[in-house]
Amino acid sequence: MYPYEIFGLTAIIDSFGERSMKLEAFAETGSEEAVLLESIDAGRLPRHIAVIMDGNGRWAGLRKLPRAAGHRTGIDSVRDIVESCRKLGIEALTLYAFSTENWKRPKLEVRTLMRLLKEYIRREMRNVHENNIRFQSIGRIHELDESVREELRRFTELTGQNTGMTLNIALNYSGRAELTDAVNRILSEYRSGDQSDVTEEKISNSLYTAGLPDPDLLIRTSGEIRISNFLLWQIAYSEIYVTPTLWPDFRRKHLLEAIATYQLRDRRYGGI
Ligand code: FPP
């Protein structure tokens, strides 16, 4: 039996069924994962975690595989991180899957990413729903192919009333586009008669992430130290964690490492 009883982690291990054997092995007293679990304070978990999933191509390149193999294995990481966040009790998880700039990639790669996304939705929809996770896509969704939008619609509708965790997948997303859309929305409300002043609250409520807390922790995999046009407004006070681990290798252990590091930070929000 797994020895640690913090914030439902016993439940994680129990609910993984077949994988529980492996996790129990990882979590033997004194193991790296067990030590990490012990070092995490259940009362100070980030409410919202955002992730720039980077390094799929390099992961594949290192193995002399096509880039698509990196994206495909990246989906296993998505599954693992979604499950882990849910079990930890994280309120919101936002994953950057496709930026407005990613259209510059070769057509075949774009098609592969869209196909993998649809595959992920078809495979995971039931599991995500049963785990009481609410799914949302954020970005200029209307510009995506109808077949992708159809899957997103089904997933969003099925899980719309769930209350356990919000999973946002950012697709055809950029922070500047989001802010532009927010300004245009406010402008159109203004023209329709709501001529109250623009406030920070009004801007927040006009973003795709309206209603969610801002990310406490922003994780970027594969070592690049930049924001890449992600959640520009929302990350004003996020703690940034960059790891050299490539996204397809990033699993629960790495998430726990990120959370443990986050808890060592002194968040002052401009105070002293
Ligand atoms: C960055 O790696 C990754 C992406 C642009 C796509 C992320 C997509 C997935 C993990 C799969 C589909 C997503 C979901 C949510 C099911 P890169 O290709 O830029 O890697 P590189 O910098 O090493 O070339």
The pLDDT tens digits of the residues spanning 166-210 come to 999 999 999 999 999 999 999 999 999 999 999 999 999 999 999
Please report the sign of the dihedral spanned by the C-alpha atoms of residue 54, residue 214, residue 12, residue 83. negative
Q: Following DSSP, what letter does each residue of 55-95 receive, concatenated?
A: -HHHHHHHTT--HHHHHHHHHHHHHHHHHHHHHHT-SEEEE
Among the listed residues 14, 41, 56, 102, the single catalytic one is 102
CATH number for region 46-262:
3.40.1180.10
| Residue 252 scores a pLDDT above 90 | yes
What is the best residue among 71, 105, 171 to mutate for testing ligand 1's pocket, by most ligand atoms within 8 Å of CB?
A: 71
102 is catalytic: yes
162 is catalytic: no
d(CA 136, CA 141): 11
Share of the chain above pLDDT 70, in %: 90
Q: What is the pLDDT of residues 101-154, one digit of tens each?
A: 999 999 999 999 999 999 999 999 999 999 999 999 999 999 999 999 999 999
pLDDT for the residue 32:
81
CB-defined site of ligand 1, < 6 Å? 53-58, 71, 74-75, 78, 95, 97, 102, 113, 116-117, 120, 169, 222, 247
d(CA 237, CA 233): 9
Torsion of CA 62, 219, 212, 146, to 10 degrees: -20
d(CA 118, CA 148): 6
Nearest CA to ligand 1 atom 1: 54
Residue 54 in tokens = 């980077």
Query: Could you give the 3-state DSSP secondary structure of residue 247?
Result: helix
d(CA 93, CA 81): 9
14 pLDDT band, cuts 50/70/90, is very low
33 pLDDT band, cuts 50/70/90, is confident
| 31 vs 42, residue with greater confidence | 42
Give the atom of ligand 1 at the shortest distance from the alpha carbon of 117: 16
pLDDT for the residue 35:
87
In the chain, residues under CATH classification 3.40.1180.10 are 46-262
Q: How far is the CA of 215 from the centre of ligand 1 (A)?
A: 20
pLDDT for the residue 3:
36
pLDDT for the residue 29:
74
The type of residue at 90 is I
d(CA 85, CA 8): 11
Which stretches within the chain are classed as H helix? 9-15, 20-26, 32-39, 56-62, 67-88, 107-130, 146-159, 175-191, 200-205, 252-264
pLDDT for the residue 21:
36
* Distance (Å) of CA 224 to CA 68, 76, 200: 21, 22, 30
Mean pLDDT across the chain: 91
First to last CA, the chain: 44
pLDDT for the residue 4:
36
34 pLDDT band, cuts 50/70/90, is confident
Three-state SS for 20-59 is HHHHHHHCCCCCHHHHHHHHCCHHHCCCEEEEECCCHHHH
